[in-house]
Amino acid sequence: MVDITFVCLSKSKKNQEFCVAGKIIHTDGSIGQWIRPVNKFGSIDERDCLYADKSQATSLDVITATFIRGVPQKFQTENYLIDSEKYWVKRRDYDFNIPALNKLCDQPQTLWTNNHESGGGIKDQVSPAEAANIKESLYFIYVGDITIYTSRWQNEKVKVRGEFVYNGDTYNLKITDLFWLNYYEDKELGKHPLNGRYLTISLALETFGDFHYKLIAEMM
């Protein structure tokens, strides 16, 4: 077992549980690799991400958690099994300013492969054959602006997507960030332009309709 400190860059919806991910912070303050805490079922539930005072871990918390071992699954090489018997420890809030957030940014040329898209998305799919050659599933990027599209089918929860340009490519991806799902639940449906944002982009392990999907797991 080992204690690892990381800054939380995503706590998003994964079915009825959470997908938590962040970047390791070394003792000298430098930023390390991505880490995705998972329990033995491959996700995180409410009890897993509790502090001793029973409060919940949230994005931009700097957290120390106890991990048992790495448990990579296909391209999700960042997965590490947590010790579910131990509380997480909040060290501090990560600085919410441009220089500090820029230190966390990745600079991929593209968001994985851009050869497939769903009926409602743009460049939002990756085929299993393409995924077999992918070695990471998380990126933290900055985009100059993003347009949010919200829709609803009958009495279901609101569906939220984000459209943005990154390195000259336009993407339209599903948003799983809990804050924004709740925020837009009672807002007017339609188009909502926003100024520059930092995004955590995740590539889902599960396939739907024979494709893996790119997701906006966090928007800040």
77 and 135 co-located in one domain: no
Q: How many CB atoms lie within 10 A of CB 167?
A: 11
Name the domain boundary from 78, 101, 124.
101
C-alpha torsion sign, points 181, 47, 100, 111: negative
Give the domain range for residue 45.
Answer: 2-101
Cα 27 to Cα 5: distance, rounded to the nearest angstrom: 9
210 and 109 co-located in one domain: yes
pLDDT band of residue 108 (cuts 50, 70, 90) is: very high
94 and 194 co-located in one domain: no
Beta-bridge partner residues of 18? 13, 44
Average pLDDT of the residues in 208-213:
96
3-state helix, strand, coil in the chain (%, to 5): 10, 55, 40
| 8 A C-beta contact, residue 40 and residue 81 | yes
| 8 A C-beta contact, residue 60 and residue 94 | yes
69 and 115 co-located in one domain: no
Q: What is the CATH classification number for the domain harbouring 18?
A: 2.40.50
Please give the mean pLDDT across all residues of the chain.
96
71 and 111 co-located in one domain: no
Model confidence over 28-71: pLDDT tens digits?
999 999 999 999 988 898 899 999 999 999 999 999 999 999 99
Global confidence as pTM: 0.95
93 and 111 co-located in one domain: no
149 and 92 co-located in one domain: no
137 and 85 co-located in one domain: no
51 and 123 co-located in one domain: no
Name the domain boundary from 46, 81, 101.
101
HSE-CB of 106 using CA atoms within 13 angstroms: 21
Name the domain boundary from 76, 101, 126.
101
23 and 51 co-located in one domain: yes
**pLDDT at 217 > cutoff 80:** yes
92 and 132 co-located in one domain: no
116 and 175 co-located in one domain: yes
Q: Residue 164 contacts by C-beta under 8 Å, 6 or more apart in sequence?
A: 143, 145, 146, 147, 170, 171, 199
Domain count of the fold of the chain = 2
User: Which pLDDT score, from 0 to 100, does residue 36 have?
Assistant: 97
